[in-house]
C-alpha cells in the first residue's frame, strides 16, 4: 500500500497514478541490482520526454539545500535554463559509469545528438551501509537498461533502482513518487515529484504533523545500529516535472520549494546530506533548441504562467514532495545487506495507530 491508501490525511488532488509519470510524456525506468550478501544498489532513469523527442530541451532549474552530494550537468542548466536527455539517479560511486551509459544510449538511439557534445544529468545518494559501494557492480549497460525499461503509468517504489540500498529516517527508504493537479483557468496542469530518499534521523520523523519518530522503536533489536553514519546523513535527490509552461527561473523556484515538503516530514537538513533538486517543464516543446538554419538568425519564444499566478504550483511541489517521501517509507521492506547489516521497514500498523490516536 501507499501512504494515501493507509488513510493518512494528505492534502491535494493527485493525478491518476499519483506519480511523476502523470505528467504527459514523462517515463520512469529501473535497473535493480541485488546479489549475494552485499550488492544492494541500482539505477533510476527519468525521461522528460518520450524517446523520439528526448533531444528536445525542457526549461529547467535546480537548487542545492546542502551540497554534500553530486548532480552532474547543473552548471549548464544554470547557464542556459535547458535540460535534455534522460535524468539518472544512482549511488555515490556509480556516477561515472551511469554518465557513460547515457552517452552510449544516446549514440545508439539519437546519433545526430551523439555527434554533438553531451552533459547528462546524473545524481546520487550514498548506499554504502547496505551495499558494497566500492565494488564495480553498476556498469554503463545498467544505465542503458534503466533507460530502455522506462515507461509511463504506475511507478514501483521502495527498494528499486537507485533507491535499492537507501535508508530514510533510519528505516528502509528508497524510491518514492507523487503528483498534484493544479487548475489554471480552464486548464488543469500536473506537477509530479520523484524522490530518492536516503536522509533523516529517526527522532526527526514527522508524519502529517505528528512526531512519530520519537515514539517508534530505535531499531531492530537483532540488528546493528548505523553507528558508522551520523543520524540524518545520507542525501536526498528530488526531481520535479510539470507540463505547465514555465520559465527557467520559475523551474528554479519550484526546485527551491522542495525543502519545504521535506521539512514536513521532519528533517532539518543534515550537513552530511546532499540535498539537491531539479525541476523541469515539458511545455514549450521546440523552444530552446540549439541553433537556427545556417545564415538565418532568428528568435526563440517561451509561453509561461505569470509570476503572480505561480503559488499554486509551489504548493503542489510541497505537497507532492511530502507524500513521495512517505510513499518511499511505506514501500520500504526490511533489508539485510553488507556485513549482515539490517535495516527494518517502518512499522506501518504502528504508524497508522499513532496518526489515528493523534486525531
Active-site residues, by number, are 235, 273, 275
Give, in order, the Cα–Cα distances in Å from 339 to each of 36, 37, 111, 131, 219.
11, 7, 44, 9, 17
DSSP-assigned letters across all residues of 246-287: --HHHHHHHHHHHHHHHHHTT----TT-EEEEEEEE--STTT
The span from the CA of 93 to the CA of 119, in Å, is: 18
Orientation angle between helical segments 95-109 and 140-149, nearest 10 degrees? 60
Burial of 273 (0-12, 13-18, 19+ CB in 10 A): buried
The span from the CA of 236 to the CA of 96, in Å, is: 19
The span from the CA of 77 to the CA of 194, in Å, is: 19
Give the DSSP letter of residue 331. H
Q: Within 95-247, where are the H helices?
A: 95-109, 111-114, 140-149
The span from the CA of 290 to the CA of 350, in Å, is: 54
Amino acid at each position: 500500500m501507499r501512504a494515501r491508501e493507509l488513510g493518512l490525511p494528505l492534502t491535494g488532488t493527485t493525478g491518476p497514478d499519483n506519480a511523476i509519470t502523470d505528467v504527459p510524456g514523462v517515463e520512469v525506468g529501473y535497473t535493480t541490482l541485488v546479489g549475494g550478501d552485499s550488492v544492494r544498489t541500482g539505477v533510476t532513469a527519468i525521461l522528460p520526454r518520450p524517446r523520439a523527442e528526448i533531444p528536445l530541451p525542457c526549461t529547467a532549474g535546480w537548487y542545492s539545500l546542502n551540497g554534500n552530494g553530486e548532480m552532474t550537468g547543473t552548471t549548464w542548466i544554470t547557464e542556459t535554463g535547458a535540460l535534455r536527455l534522460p535524468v539518472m539517479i544512482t549511488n555515490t560511486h556509480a556516477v561515472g559509469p551511469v554518465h557513460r551509459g547515457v552517452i552510449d544510449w544516446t549514440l545508439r538511439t539519437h546519433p545526430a545528438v551523439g555527434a554533438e557534445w553531451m552533459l547528462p544529468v546524473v545524481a546520487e545518494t550514498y548506499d554504502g551501509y547496505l551495499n558494497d559501494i566500492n565494488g564495480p557492480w553498476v556498469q554503463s549497460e545498467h544505465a542503458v537498461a534503466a533507460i530502455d525499461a522506462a515507461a509511463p503509468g504506475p511507478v514501483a517504489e521502495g527498494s528499486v533502482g537507485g533507491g535499492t540500498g537507501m535508508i530514510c529516517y533510519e528505516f528502509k527508504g528508497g524510491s518514492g513518487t507523487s503528483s498534484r493537479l493544479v487548475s489554471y483557468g480552464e486548464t488543469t496542469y500536473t506537477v509530479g515529484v520523484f524522490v530518492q530518499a536516503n536522509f533523516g534521523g529517526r527522532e526527526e520523523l514527522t508524519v502529517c504533523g505528528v512526531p512519530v519518530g520519537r515514539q517508534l522503536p530505535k531499531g531492530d533489536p537483532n540488528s546493528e545500529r548505523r553507528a558508522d553514519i551520523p543520524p540524518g546523513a545520507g542525501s536526498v535527490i528530488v526531481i520535479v516535472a510539470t507540463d505547465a509552461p514555465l520559465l527557467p527561473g520559475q523551474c528554479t523556484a519550484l526546485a527551491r520549494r522542495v525543502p519545504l515538503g521535506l521539512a514536513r516530514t521532519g528533517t532539518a537538513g543534515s550537513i552530511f546530506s546532499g540535498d539537491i533538486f531539479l525541476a523541469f517543464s515539458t511545455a514549450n516543446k521546440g523552444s530552446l533548441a540549439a541553433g537556427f538554419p545556417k545564415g538565418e538568425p532568428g528568435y526563440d519564444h517561451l509561453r509561461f504562467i505569470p509570476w503572480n499566478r505561480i503559488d499554486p504550483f509551489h504548493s503542489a511541489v510541497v505537497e507532492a514532495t511530502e507524500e513521495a517521501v512517505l510513499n518511499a517509507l511505506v514501500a520500504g521492506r526490511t533489508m539485510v545487506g553488507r556485513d549482515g547489516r539490517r535495516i527494518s521497514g517502518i512499522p506501518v500498523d504502528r504508524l497508522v495507530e499513532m496518526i489515528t490516536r493523534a486525531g
